[in-house]
């Protein structure tokens, strides 16, 4: 099992959010880390879609004009 390196970082978080999280027994640091990980994933996806928009559009145009490749072999 590998242990991921940790970096301490000061974050300013709404006092009301921290109080509510603690009252619910949540790990505030863990929740913050999970939220940052989700934000990173969403941003990477957004950038990928933006960087590949031309190819995606070309593929969609091809399908619109010619239909799905190998469609005749589909069983549904």
The per-residue pLDDT for range 35-45, each reduced to its tens digit, is: 999 999 999 99
67 Rama sector, left if φ>0, alpha if ψ -120 to 50, beta otherwise: left
* pLDDT for the residue 19: 96
Q: Would the pTM of this model clear 0.85, i.e. be above it?
A: no
* pLDDT for the residue 53: 98
Kindly write down the DSSP assignment for every residue of 39-69, as one continuous string: HHHHHHHHHHHHHTHHHHHHHHHHHHHH--T
* pLDDT for the residue 30: 94
Q: Is the pLDDT of residue 11 over 60?
A: yes
């Amino acid at each position: 099992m590998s242990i991921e390196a940790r970096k301490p970082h000061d974050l300013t978080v709404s006092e009301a959010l921290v109080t509510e999280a603690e009252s619910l027994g949540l790990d505030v640091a863990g929740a913050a880390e999970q939220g940052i990980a989700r934000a990173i994933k969403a941003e990477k996806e957004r950038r990928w879609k933006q960087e590949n928009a031309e190819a995606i559009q070309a593929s969609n145009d091809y399908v619109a004009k010619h239909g799905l490749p190998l469609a005749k072999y589909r069983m549904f």
